[in-house]
Chains A and B, each alone.
Chain A
Amino acid sequence: MEVTGSTIRAWQRGVILLFVALLAALTFAGGATAAHADEVGGQYPFQFSGNVKNDGKALAGVKISVSGNGYSAEVKTDEKGRWQIGVPSKGSYSVALDESTLPKGIIVVQGSNPIVAEFGKTTDKTVNFFLGVGEKQTTSFGQELIDRIVTGLSFGLLLALAAIGLSLIFGTTGLNNFAHAEMVTFGALATLTLAVDLAWPLWLAILAAIILSAVFGFVLDAGIWAPLRRKGIGLIPAMIVSIGLSLALRYLYQYLYGGSTRQILGSASANIQFGLISISPFNIASMTISVVAVIGIAFFLLRTRLGKATRAVSDNSSLAAASGIDVDRVIRIVWVMGGALAGLSGILFAFYRPGVSWDMGFQILLLIFAAVTLGGLGTAFGALVGSIVVGLFIEVSTLWISPDMKDVGALVILILVLLVRPQGILGRKERVG
C-alpha cells in the first residue's frame, strides 16, 4: 500500500495538534502536572503566567524570572510564548524578562522591566510585557555603579535611622532590643492604616505615624522596660524578653493585617536626571528626610543639655546619676526617640521595598544589628557609618552577585569585620574579650 505525502503530513499534523492540545491542557490544569520547560513551581497555590508576543508573533525561549519573599524561579517560554511560575505565598514579586534572550532588535518598549506584580483576590495573575522594535539603551558599568551607589546610600540612610535608635537604647540601657524590628514595622503599618484605609493625605498620615511610633516607644518603655529595670532584671534575660515581645508583636501584626503585602502608593514616577545621576523622586525624598533626621540627632546629642546627659548615661549611668542626671528620664526620652526613628525608618523602607507587610521589620533586623555592630556597639555615629557601609555593600554587590544573595554578603562582611576589628569601625579600642 502506498502512502501519499499528504496523508503523512495530515497524520503528523494530527499528532502535533494533539500534542499542543495536551500541552495546553496541562498548562491550564494549573499546576498538578509535572514541571515543563515553560512551567515551574506547579505545586504552589499562587501562579504567575503570561504570554510573550511581539507584533502578534509568539516568542519562544525567552527567559522570565520571578523573585521576592525569599523565593525565586525562572522559566523559558514555550513555542507559543507562554510561561507559568508558581510561588509559595501571596505577596509582591518582581517579574523580570531577560532582554538578552529576545530576538535582536526587540526590547521591552512600554512599562517597566522588571514588573512588580501582586495577586489580587484570585490565586493567579497574568503578567505581560509590551515588546516592540527598538534599540536597548545599554547602561554602562559606570552608570550602573552610580545608580547602585545612590540606591545603596538611600537604603543605608533609612537603615541608619533604625540603627541609631537601637544603638542609643543599647548604649543607655544595655538592652539588645530584638523587638526593634516590630517598632520599624509599626511605622509602616500605621502609615498604611491612616493613608490607605482611612484615606488621609499622605503627608499627614506619615506625620501622624511618626508621632504614633514615638508614643509606641513610650508605651513599650513605660509598660515593660521601666518596670523590668526597677525589678533589676539582667541584660540577657531582658534580651530574651525582647525576643518574646518581638514574636508576640509580629504575629499580632499578622493577625491584624494578614500575610499579604500592601502598597501605600500605587505607581512610581519617572526618574529625575542630574547630569550623570538618574535618581527617583522617592530616593531624593528619602535621603533628604534621613539626612535631616540624622543632623537633628547629631545636634541633639552634641549641642543640647539633654543630649549631653544622654551621652553621659551611655558612658557610665551610675556616674551620671551621681552627678544629678535623671537617668530614668533620659532613658524614657531615648525610647521615645528610638520609637519615632524606627517608625520613620519603617515608613521609608515601605517605599523602598516597595510594600508593607507584617514581617518587613524582621526582614531587616539582622541588617540593623549588623550595622550597629559594624559601627561599634553603643555609639550613635558608629551606627550611622555601619548602616551606610551595609546599605552600599548590599546594593553595589548586586553588580556581581545574584540579588537574592545580597544579604548574605552583608552578613559575611559583618563576621569578617568582627574578626579584624571587634570593637567596630568607630568603637573605642577597649578590651571586649
Chain B
Amino acid sequence: MVDFWQIIQNASVELISPTTAAYALAALGLAIHFGFTGLINFGQAGFMAVGAYGFGISTLTFHFPVWAAVLTGIGASIVLALLLGVPTLRLRADYLAIVTIAAAEIFRLVVSTPNAGPITGSADGLSGYKTGFAALNPIPPGTYGFGPFTMNEYDLFLRLVAWTVVILCCLLAWQLMRSPWGRVVKGIREDEDAVRALGKNVYFYKMQSLILGGVFGSLAGIIFILPRAIVPSNFATTLTFFVYTVLLLGGAATILGPVIGSIIFWVTLSAVSGFVARAQEAGWFPGMSSVQAGQTRFIVVGVVLMLIVIFRPQGVFGNKKELAFVK
C-alpha cells in the first residue's frame, strides 16, 4: 500500500527548504533578465556557479570571513555579467543566449579539470566552507519545529537567512520595477527602438539589468551550496533549464511568480518522485525498476515545461496583458 501521508510530509519539507529558496532567487534574477528586460540568459547556472565557487574558494583558499566571501561571490558575478554583456548586448537577442550558455559550460569545465584541483577540487568539488557561516548562528543548539519541519539549529538558521534574502531581493526587485528604471527596462523588452528614440541608452540599461539578475543568481548559488557541497556537475546546463521551468511556472514578468513557481516546482517534484518510488515498490508499475522510478520525475519536468509554454505562457500568476515573452 502506498503511504500517501508520508509522501505529503516529505513533499511539504520542500515548502521552505533552502534549495527552494535558492531556485526562487535564481528565477527572480532570471525574471529581471528575461521577464522584464527581454534578455535571453541561458547561463543562469553559470552565475550560480560563479557565486558558489567565489564563496567557497575565498573561504577555503584565502580564509575570508563570511561577509567578504559573499562579496567575492557577488563581485565574481558582476565580472561575469560585464564579460558576457560587453560583446553581446549590442547584438540580436539569440546571440546572448548562445554566449551565456557557452560561458556557463566553459566555467563548469574549467573548474572540473584536474589541473585546477588544488583550488576548485576538480570533479569532486569543494566542502568544509560552512564553519564560518555556522559560527554566525545565534540560535542555541537544539531541535526546533514540528512534524516534517523538525530541524536542528543550523538548518533553522539557514532557512531563516535564505528566505530573508529572498524576501529582501523580492522587495528590491518590486520597488525597482515600479520605478522609472523599471519602466525603461520594460520598454526595452517591448520595443527597443522606441526606447532608443526617447534618448535612453538601451545598452547601459540592459547591462544594469544583466548585472542585477546575475547578482541575484550568485546569491542563489551561495544559498544553494550551504546545505550541501559544491559539486561542478550540479551547475550543468540542466540547472538553467530547471530555473526556467520555475520562472515560467510562476510567471516570467512577475515578482512573486518565481517564489511561488519554485515552491510549486519542488513540492510537486518531491511528491511525484515520492509517489512513483513508493508505487513502484508496491508493484503498481510492473516492469519499472527502482532506478527508472527515480528518473521519471525529469521526464515530468520536461513535459510540464512544454505544456506551460504552450497552454499558459503567462504562468500561474502572470497577467496576459503584460507580454510574457519577447517577440
Contacts and interface: CB of A to CB of B under 8 A. Distances in A.
Given A237-B309, A411-B106, A418-B91, A248 B98 contact: no
Interface in A264-285: none
Interface string A86-111: 00100000000000000000000000
Contacts of B275: none
A418 B105 contact: no
Given A240-B305, A251-B299, A377-B94, A415 B87 contact: yes
A51 interface: no
Interface stretch (B55-63, B160-168, B288-296): B288-296
A433 B91 contact: yes
Interface string B75-107: 000000000000110111111011101110110
B282 interface: no
B201 interface: no
A405 B241 contact: no
Interface string A41-79: 001000000000000000000000000001111100000
Q: On chain B, which size bracket covers the interface? A: 35 or more
A384 interface: no
B302 A247 contact: yes
B143 interface: no
Interface in A214-269: 228, 231, 233-237, 239-241, 243-252, 254-255, 258-259
A345 interface: no
User: Which of B109, B112, B245, B296 has its CB near the most chain A CB atoms (within 10 A)?
Assistant: B109
A422 B124 CA distance: 37
A407 B110 CA distance: 10
Given A240-B248, A255-B292, A255-B299, A402 B92 contact: no
B320 to A, nearest CB: 13
Interface residues of A, number: 51
Contact of B241 (A70, A247, A419, A432): A247
A255 B241 CA distance: 19
Given A234-B325, A404-B113, A251 B103 contact: no
A70 B305 CA distance: 27
Interface string A415-433: 1001100100000000011
A233 B301 contact: no
A258 B313 CA distance: 33
Contacts of A244: 245, 301-307, 309
A366 B238 contact: no
B283 interface: no
5 contacts: A240-B248, A241-B306, A244-B245, A370-B102, A404-B114
Interface of B: 40, 87-88, 90-95, 97-99, 101-103, 105-106, 109-110, 112-115, 123-124, 233, 237-238, 241, 244-245, 248, 291-292, 295-296, 298-299, 301-307, 309-310, 313, 325-327
Given A244-B245, A244-B309, 18 more contacts: A71-B112, A72-B113, A236-B326, A237-B310, A240-B309, A241-B310, A244-B302, A244-B306, A248-B298, A248-B306, A251-B298, A255-B292, A369-B101, A402-B114, A404-B114, A405-B113, A407-B109, A414-B99
